[in-house]
C-alpha cells in the first residue's frame, strides 16, 4: 500500500520512503513510527501504543521516543515548532496531521510474499457487486456520541455482509478512509470495489437526519442518494431503511429470504450501542491497555443491556486476546471467561457471526482446534463477507494442517480487507501454511513480511525465526530470535504450542526441533 503526502510516498510493501521519487534512507524504527502515525492519522496515538508497536513492548525511555520523532520530523523537513506533519499533543501522544492520499498497486500478484494482497478479489467478486462502506461523518457540535458515525457504518457492514450476492469490504480497511473529502475513485482503486457508500449525520433536539450517497468508483459518479430522518431513538430503524435502499439502488433481484438475512439485532439502549462500538475501536489495536479499555466498554454495554449479544461476544474477544497474547498472569482464567461470554453471545443470538467466531476461537485456548471449525464455518455461512470468520477459519485450518483450506481462506480474508490492521496475522498464517506444505523458502519470505509489520506480536517474530531455521538460514533466524528475546525473554516451546496447538506429528516435531536448536526448551 502507498501513502502519499506532500511530495512524499510511504510505500509499506517495499518498506521505502520516497521524496519526489527518490528513496530517502530511514532507520527501521523511524519507518515503523511513520507508518503507525500515517495509518492512524484519524486519531491521537499514545506513547504507550508507540512503544507497543514500534519497540514491541520493550522498556524504553521517553528520550528514545522523542529521538525517533525528531528523526522522523527531520527527514520530512519538519520541526517541533512548525509540526506540519507530526503534531505532539502533550500528555496525550502524537498525530499525523498532513493530508494523506492512499493508492493501491495497479496489479496485485498472486501467491508471492512481495505483495501481501492476493489477487483473490478478482475471482471472489467477479460475479458479485462489491462495496466499501465508509465511516459516516458527524456534524460539528452534534449531541450524538462521537462514535455514532462509525457505529452506523459498522452496522451496515455487518448487515450487508450477510447477503451472499454482495462482496462487502471489512471495517478494518474501509475505515482507513475517514477524511471529509474522500474520493470514490481512490477508494475503488485501493480496495478493488465497484461502489462506495458515504454518509453525513445531523442531529438537532431529538431528531436525527442521515444523508447517504452511493458512488460508482470507476468514474466517481453518484448513482443514488437519499435523506432519512427520524427521532434519535429510532436511529436503528434508519439503519434498516438505509440497508434496504442500498439493495434497491444496486438494482439486483434478491430473493426475499436473502434480503431477510440482512436483519440485525440491535440494543434498545443507545448508550450500550455507543459503548460497544467505542470498544471495537480499542479491541483491534492489539495491545494490553487498549484491550483493557475495550473490556471495560463491552462490560458497560452488557450492564446497560444484558441481552446485547455482540457486547457479550466483544467481552469474549478481549479475554481471548488476553489469554492468547499472555497479557495476564492467569491465561486459564482468561480462557474460561472467553468461553463463557462467547456461549452467552451465541445463546442470545445464534445467527450473529461475531458471536459464533468468538465461540469457535475459545476452543483454541484449550487446544481443541477441531471443535472450533463448525462454529467458524457457521460464521462465514451466516455472513459470506465476514473477514474475521475467514481469517479464523484459515488459522484453524492451518493449525489442523489443512494447508490448502488455510491458504484459500486467508486469501479470502485478505481480499475482504486488504488494508486491515490485523493483516500481519493473516500473512503469518500464510507462512505457517507454507511450512506445513514443506515450502520453507516461501514460509520464510511470508514470515519476514508479517514480522516487519507494525503491531506484530512476539509470536509472529518467533514464527519468522522458525521459518528461517527450517530454511537453513541461521543468520536471518538470529535476527528474529534477538527480537523475541528482547521483547519476551521468558518465551518457551510450551508458550508457542499453547498459542499454536499443532497436533503431535511430523509438523510439530519439525517446529519443536527448530525451537530447540535455538535454545527454546
Q: pLDDT, tens digit, for every residue of 432-446?
A: 999 988 899 999 999
Distance of CA 99 to the CA centre of its chain: 22
Q: Which fold has domain 267-383?
A: 1.25.40
What is the arithmetic mean of pLDDT over 352-375? 93
* Distance in angstroms between the alpha carbons of the first and the last residue of the chain: 39
* 266 band by pLDDT with thresholds 50, 70 and 90: low
Q: What beta strand segments (E) does 171-299 contain?
A: 195-204, 207-216, 222-231
Phi, psi of 68 (to 5 degrees): -70, -40
Strands 101-103 and 93-96: unpaired
Highest mean pLDDT among 402-416, 430-444, 482-496: 430-444
pLDDT of 463 higher than 70: yes
| Residue 293 pLDDT > 60 | yes
- Identify the pLDDT of residue 250: 62
Residues 6+ apart with CB under 8 A from 290: 49, 282, 283
* Domain locations along the chain: 2-102, 116-260, 267-383, 418-521
Mean of pLDDT over the chain: 84
Query: And the C-alpha cell for 127?
Result: 460475479
Whole-angstrom distance, CA of residue 196 vs CA of residue 211: 14
Which residue spans within 238-279 are E strands per DSSP? none
22-24 and 16-19 beta bridge pairing: antiparallel
Helix 353-362 / helix 387-399 crossing angle, nearest 10 deg:
20
Q: What is the pLDDT of residue 302?
A: 94
What mean pLDDT comes out for the span 384-405? 88
Q: Where residue 270 falls among pLDDT bands split at 50, 70, 90?
A: low
- What single DSSP character describes residue 85? S
**DSSP string over 14-66:** TTEEEETTEEEP--HHHHHHHHHHHHTTTSPBPHHHHHHHHSTT----HHHHH
Q: How confident is the model at residue 322 (pLDDT cuts 50, 70, 90)?
A: very high
For 2-102, CATH number?
1.10.10.10
What per-residue confidence (pLDDT) applies to 467? 96
The pLDDT of residue 116 is above 50: no
Higher pLDDT, 10 or 42: 10
pLDDT of 304: 92
Q: What is the CATH number of domain 116-260?
A: 3.40.50.10070
pLDDT of residue 252: 44
Query: What would the grid cell of residue 483 be?
Result: 527480537
Nearest Cα residue to 172 out of 342, 416, 397, 395 = 416
Give φ, ψ of 114 to 5 degrees: -70, -20
Contact (Cβ atoms closer than 8 angstroms) between residue 290 and residue 49: yes
The pLDDT-based confidence of 299 (bands split at 50, 70, 90) is: very high
pLDDT average, residue stretch 212-216: 86
- Range of weakest confidence among 183-187, 410-414, 454-458: 454-458
Residue 477: band (very low, low, confident or very high) from pLDDT cuts 50, 70, 90: very high
**Length of the chain as a residue count:** 521
> Which of 340-375 are b and which e, b meaning 16 or more Cβ less than 10 Å from the residue's Cβ?
ebbbbbbebbebbbbbbbbbbbbbbbbeebeebbeb
- CB atoms under 10 Å from CB of 291, counted, come to 23
Q: What is the DSSP letter of 193?
A: -
Over residues 233-248, mean pLDDT: 76
Angle at 224 between CA 218 and CA 226, to 5 degrees: 145
Distances (CA, A) of 489 to 137, 191, 282, 369: 45, 39, 27, 28
pLDDT reading at 411 higher than 60: yes
And the C-alpha cell for 88?
Answer: 505532539
Name which residue leads in pLDDT, 87 or 243: 87
pLDDT at 255: 34
Say if CB 352 and CB 361 are below 8 A apart.
no
* Helix/strand/coil for 509: helix
Lowest mean pLDDT among 2-11, 100-109, 326-335, 362-371: 100-109
Residue 332 has pLDDT above 60, yes or no: yes
Backbone angles phi, psi at 390, to 5 degrees: -65, -40
Residue 259: partners with Cβ closer than 8 Å, 6 or more residues away: 163, 244, 247
Give the confidence band of 257 by pLDDT, cuts at 50, 70, 90: very low
CA–CA distance, 153 with 175 (Å, rounded to integer): 9
CB contact at 8 A, 182 and 134: yes
Among residues 74, 60, 79, the alpha carbon closest in space to that of 17 is found at: 74
Amino acid at each position: 500500500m502507498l501513502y502519499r503526502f506532500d511530495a512524499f510516498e510511504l510505500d509499506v510493501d517495499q518498506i521505502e520512503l520516497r521524496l519526489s521519487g527518490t528513496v530517502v534512507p530511514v532507520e527501521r524504527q523511524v519507518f515503523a513510527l511513520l507508518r503507525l502515525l500515517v495509518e492512524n492519522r484519524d486519531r491521537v496515538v499514545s506513547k504507550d501504543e508507540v512503544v507497543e508497536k514500534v519497540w514491541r513492548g520493550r522498556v524504553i525511555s521517553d528520550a528514545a521516543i522523542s529521538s525517533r520523532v525528531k528523526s522522523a520530523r527531520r527527514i520530512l523537513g519538519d520541526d517541533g515548532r512548525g509540526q506540519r506533519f507530526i503534531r505532539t499533543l502533550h500528555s496525550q501522544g502524537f498525530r499525523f496531521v498532513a493530508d494523506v492520499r492512499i493508492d493501491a498497486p495497479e496489479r496485485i500478484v498472486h501467491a508471492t510474499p512481495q505483495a501481501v494482497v492476493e489477487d483473490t478479489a478478482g475471482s471472489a467478486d467477479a460475479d458479485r457487486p462489491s462495496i466499501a462502506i465508509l465511516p459516516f461523518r458527524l456534524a460539528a457540535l452534534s449531541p450524538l456520541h462521537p462514535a455514532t458515525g462509525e457505529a452506523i457504518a459498522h452496522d451496515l457492514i455487518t448487515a450487508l455482509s450477510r447477503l451472499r450476492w454482495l462482496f462487502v469490504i471489512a471495517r478494518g480497511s474501509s475505515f482507513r478512509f475517514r477524511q471529509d473529502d474522500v474520493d470514490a475513485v481512490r477508494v475503488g482503486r485501493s480496495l478493488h470495489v465497484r461502489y462506495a457508500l458515504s454518509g453525513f449525520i445531523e442531529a438537532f433536539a431529538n431528531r436525527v437526519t442521515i444523508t447517504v450517497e452511493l458512488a460508482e468508483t470507476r468514474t466517481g459518479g453518484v448513482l443514488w442518494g437519499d435523506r432519512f430522518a427520524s427521532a434519535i431513538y429510532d436511529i436503528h430503524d434508519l439503519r434498516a431503511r438505509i440497508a434496504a435502499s442500498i439493495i434497491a439502488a444496486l438494482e439486483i433481484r434478491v430473493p426475499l429470504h436473502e434480503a431477510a438475512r440482512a436483519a440485525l439485532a440491535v440494543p434498545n439502549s443507545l448508550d450500550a450501542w455507543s459503548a460497544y462500538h467505542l470498544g471495537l475501536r480499542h479491541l483491534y489495536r492489539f495491545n494490553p491497555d487498549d484491550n483493557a479499555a475495550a473490556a471495560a466498554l463491552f462490560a458497560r454495554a452488557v450492564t446497560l443491556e444484558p441481552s446485547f449479544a455482540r457486547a457479550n461476544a466483544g467481552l469474549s474477544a478481549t479475554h481471548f486476546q488476553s489469554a492468547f497474547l499472555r497479557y495476564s498472569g492467569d491465561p486459564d482464567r482468561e480462557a474460561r471467561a472467553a468461553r463463557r461470554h462467547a456461549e452467552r453471545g451465541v445463546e442470545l443470538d445464534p445467527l450473529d457471526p461475531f458471536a459464533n467466531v468468538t465461540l469457535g476461537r475459545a476452543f483454541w485456548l484449550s487446544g481443541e482446534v477441531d471443535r472450533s471449525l463448525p462454529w467458524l464455518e457457521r460464521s462465514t455461512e451466516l455472513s459470506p463477507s465476514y473477514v474475521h470468520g475467514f481469517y479464523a477459519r484459515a488459522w484453524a485450518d492451518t493449525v489442523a494442517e489443512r494447508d490448502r483450506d488455510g491458504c484459500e481462506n486467508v486469501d479470502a480474508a485478505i481480499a475482504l480487507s486488504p488494508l486491515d490492521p490485523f493483516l500481519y496475522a493473516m500473512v503469518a498464517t500464510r507462512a505457517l501454511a507454507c511450512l506445513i506444505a514443506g515450502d520453507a523458502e516461501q514460509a520464510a519470505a511470508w514470515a519476514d513480511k508479517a514480522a516487519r509489520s507494525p503491531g506484530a506480536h512476539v509470536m509472529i517474530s518467533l514464527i519468522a525465526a522458525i521459518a528461517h531455521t527450517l530454511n537453513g538460514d541461521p543468520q536471518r533466524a538470529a535476527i528474529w530470535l534477538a527480537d523475541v528475546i528482547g521483547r519476551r525473554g521468558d518465551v518457551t516451546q510450551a508458550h508457542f504450542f499453547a498459542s499454536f496447538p499443532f497436533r503431535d506429528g511430523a509438523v510439530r516435531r519439525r517446529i519443536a526441533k527448530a525451537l530447540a536448536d535455538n535454545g527454546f526448551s
